[in-house]
Structure 1
Amino acid sequence: MKQLISAFAVSLTLAAPALAQTYAITNGRIVTNTDSGIVENGTVLVRDGDIVAVGAGVEVPGEATVIDAEGGWITPGVFAPYSQLGLIEVGLEDSTNDQAAGESPFSVALDVTDGFNPNGTHIPSQRIEGLTRAAIFPSTGHNIFGGQGGLASTSGEADSVFESGSFVFADLSQSGADEAGGSRPAAWAFLAAALADARGYPGRFAGDHEGDALNRYDAAALLPVARGRVPLVMSINRAADIRRAIRFQEDNAPVRLILVGAAEAWMVADELAASGIPVIIDPLQDLPFNFDAIGASLQNAAHLDAAGVTVAYATLSQDGYFNPRLLPQNAGNAVANGVPWDAAFRAITLTPAEIYGVGDRYGALAPGYAGDVVVWDGDPLEVMSAPTAVLIDGEPTAMESRQTRLRDRYINITDDTPFAYRD
């Protein structure tokens, strides 16, 4: 006999991780992110953590636990391509902040996932808003390199990090130029010297010799970038700097770039499309927040999409350690400024996964994909819509956070004591 659970009640199903089982998410409008498009009144069947069937005529097995979407939307989980989730608890308290290490002798060798805390208090508030996966980014310290980033789920489990060393982060914007000595030519020269050190590893470091830009540990960590095995994520905004980045990739094959920021990318959209370099942008960045972004525009996303650039959306204008949950709103604003709905939704789900090389596992609803499924009570890009159920790796997650517990604790308190004596 099937067990019927309303989408709202899924948050109450388990207080602790359960054994893997079969779930059928039924009666919803399914956004597949595949050639199947949108399936009306469909079912997603998840077994042992993976999706096994998607469609309007899926047979629900007798042992399945049924999650009724009640006519809502069923989508893949949101994937944040840039965040600092699990690295910061209190932004102004250094003891809770592992995003950067300005006093360390190392840079590229720093793997930010070593500091990732799956029990961070900000993670549940992202999960209940539909965010199931995120790229975890370092910040720069004493040179242009911040270190290595990784990919994590928002499950809160000990094994939340499912890939480390996924990319190396470098800042080639004005702030990176400041770290390199005060100018963009200094930053590009430092990057060139660092790549030479990596290509020369280990021979260049024989005996007590060090590299021109990097020590031996950093050079070893940069070697996968030099050989094209992992991408270099480059923070950059100015159109002229983006053109320089395109030339850099051409001159340093097999190095692969991903650009983050790219506020003026719309000015060089055709060149970016021809280069094949993907970009991570914030669709809400429309003000010149510094001199690198004088040309920032709300039409950035639409121009890039029309040109055929691979684009993912981030929340760069909000704090990355507690606001990636706003990604659907950012995507909705992209739609309001000319991006087709399906392209905007893809930019916060499948495209980020593809950029990081895991698009065959995350970001779509199809057999063989991980069971990251979100049920919404309306259009997920509408600001008033919200998730009613979230599954990660095929398991329902608790739809509560510190904020919701505080709300529930205090919302109906009546205190009849005199005002001066109230807590």
Structure 2
Amino acid sequence: MKRILNTAILGAASALALSALPAAAQNVVVANATVVTGDGSEPVENGVVVVENGRVTYAGSADGRSYQTDVIIDAEGAWVTPGLFATVTTLGLVDVDAVSESNDSRAGSSPFSAALDVAPAVNPSSQNIMIHRAAGITRAATTTLPSASIFAGQGAIIDLDADSNPIVKARAFQMVDLGEGGASRAGGSRAATYALLRAALREAQALTGSRGIPQTTEIAQDAEVLLSRFDAEALKPVVAGTQKLYVAVERAADIRSVLALKNEFPNLDMVLVGVSEGWLVADEIAAAGVPALADPLDALPTGFDQLAATQSNVGRMKQAGVKVGLNTAGIENPRRLAQQAGNLVGLAKMPGASGLTWGEAFASISSIPADISGMGGQAGILAQGALGDVVIWNGDPLEVTSVPTRVFIGGVEQSLGNHQSRLRDRYRDLDESDLPKAYDW
């Protein structure tokens, strides 16, 4: 395809359009690009992406198309992808981990657990949101973490836009911690964990009157159960199947026990999180139709519930037919989500190991976690009707040295600046004469 316009003219036109338009969805064409649609297919060279009124109207081969629109960007062969979808995260809840006043990720002293709703606490001006936006992450599932109970509370789907309302869907899922973490909070044993979980779900059923249990406003008293009335009420949509239940679980035996819950509570819409030993029971997970958000590369166990951890876990579950996305909580630095996906591509080339193809790896951090989170066809993908989340990279996005150069969320171009980038720019070219006076101390 002929370049639509000279690169210099395009750059000037883009800058002029961006400066003239308010922060509203624009009509944008990215041409002459290596297009990644995010659906698991391989990249398309000499491709084009069209975003109109905040939605993707076309993504794929250029096919001699021409356009007249607000902003036309000549990518000059650069990689263009949908925005990354990060899950499970605490984005918007933490600025400094070690400073409790700026950390809303845990509520260990709260009388509530399942009733906690993360949506009102998300801060769209959080530096963590800005930093991850600059890494190409445009949407995320964010939640508080289990602390006082096995239940963490109700997580939300957020966008990383620079506007004042980051909540895409409040109360999108309930988070529960089983295995070693849950056992320690429930009384010191996995037996106590499952007893608490079943009791909580049955109380929620009693409040709804489902499965033949008479509806009642009376639930067990505090001396008889570890949930308040508000927590039990919060679990009603879980037992009804209208709210997803994210289950943090690692050990193969625990995964089997979790899957068995569907026999007692058939409406549960479960998602397995962590799943270090998932490869041992991959056929059972696939048969149950339960998706997984797995840690990318668990090479060594970090606890007794991960003794069978292997780097081939994700690849083997994928081969067994499990829908697998990558779990951001299992990554030390969530900004390296794309790098972790790239590691699975490299793993596929190792003799005897199981990894992912390039297209599968990118889908595991884009369309698959979006689909698991309830945004299938809307986020993490460049397809007609999807949200206009578009990222332009300076190289292969799954390579460690590649970074985004431009990010659009819902058709609106975003700033990539943050505290870290400003500190980098401030001190990168200084010599000794520019050092602060206190440096000599």
**Shorter-normalised TM-score: what interval?**
over 0.9
Residue 54 of structure 1 and its aligned partner are, at CA, apart by: 2.1
- State the SS of the aligned residue for 1:371: coil
Aligned to 1:336: 346
- Contact 2:295/2:331 (8 A) holds in 1: no
Aligned to 2:58: 53
Aligned to 2:147: 141
Report the number of matched residues. Answer: 419
Structure 1 Cα separation of the partners of residues 20 and 421 of structure 2: 16
Structure 1 Cα separation of the partners of residues 78 and 434 of structure 2: 45
Aligned to 1:294: 307
Structure 1 Cα separation of the partners of residues 70 and 161 of structure 2: 22
Residue 156 of structure 1 and its aligned partner are, at CA, apart by: 2.7
- Contact 1:197/1:204 (8 A) holds in 2: no
Match of 1:25 among 14, 25, 30: 30
**Change in 2 beyond 3 A, CA 1:368/1:268:** same
Aligned to 1:412: 429
After superposition, give the CA deviation of every residue in 1:101-153 in whole Å (9 maximum; x if it has no partner): 11111111101122111100111111111111110021112211010001111
1:42 paired to 2:53: no
Structure 2 Cα separation of the partners of residues 79 and 219 of structure 1: 30
What are the within-5 Å matches in structure 2 for residues 200-239 of structure 1?
A: 200-201=206-207, 203-206=215-218, 212-239=225-252
Match of 2:192 among 180, 186, 208: 186
- Contact 2:106/2:145 (8 A) holds in 1: yes
- State the SS of the aligned residue for 2:46: strand
Aligned to 1:356: 373
1:79 paired to 2:85: yes
1:304 paired to 2:317: yes
- Contact 1:172/1:234 (8 A) holds in 2: yes
Which runs of 5 or more residues in structure 1 are unaligned?
none
What are the within-5 Å matches in structure 2 for residues 73-112 of structure 1?
A: 73-112=79-118
Which runs of 5 or more residues in structure 2 are unaligned?
209-214, 349-355
Letter in 1 for 2:399: E
Structure 2 Cα separation of the partners of residues 208 and 263 of structure 1: 35
Range moving further from structure 2, 34-43 or 258-267: 34-43
Structure 2 Cα separation of the partners of residues 266 and 164 of structure 1: 32
**Change in 2 beyond 3 A, CA 1:204/1:346:** same
Structure 1 Cα separation of the partners of residues 438 and 105 of structure 2: 43
Structure 1 Cα separation of the partners of residues 109 and 377 of structure 2: 39
Structure 2 Cα separation of the partners of residues 14 and 219 of structure 1: 51
What are the within-5 Å matches in structure 2 for residues 159-178 of structure 1?
A: 159-178=165-184
Letter in 2 for 1:172: L
TM-score, length-normalised on structure 2?
Answer: 0.89
Structure 1 Cα separation of the partners of residues 16 and 365 of structure 2: 24
Residue 206 of structure 1 and its aligned partner are, at CA, apart by: 4.2
After superposition, give the CA deviation of every residue in 1:157-186 in whole Å (9 maximum; x if it has no partner): 111111110100000121111111110010
Residue 33 of structure 1 and its aligned partner are, at CA, apart by: 3.0
**Change in 2 beyond 3 A, CA 1:417/1:53:** closer
- Contact 1:372/1:390 (8 A) holds in 2: yes
Structure 2 Cα separation of the partners of residues 395 and 147 of structure 1: 31
Residue 214 of structure 1 and its aligned partner are, at CA, apart by: 2.1
- State the SS of the aligned residue for 1:233: strand
- Contact 1:281/1:316 (8 A) holds in 2: no
- Contact 1:118/1:156 (8 A) holds in 2: yes
Letter in 2 for 1:175: G
Letter in 1 for 2:195: A
Letter in 2 for 1:232: L
- State the SS of the aligned residue for 1:326: helix
Letter in 1 for 2:429: N
**Change in 2 beyond 3 A, CA 1:17/1:169:** farther
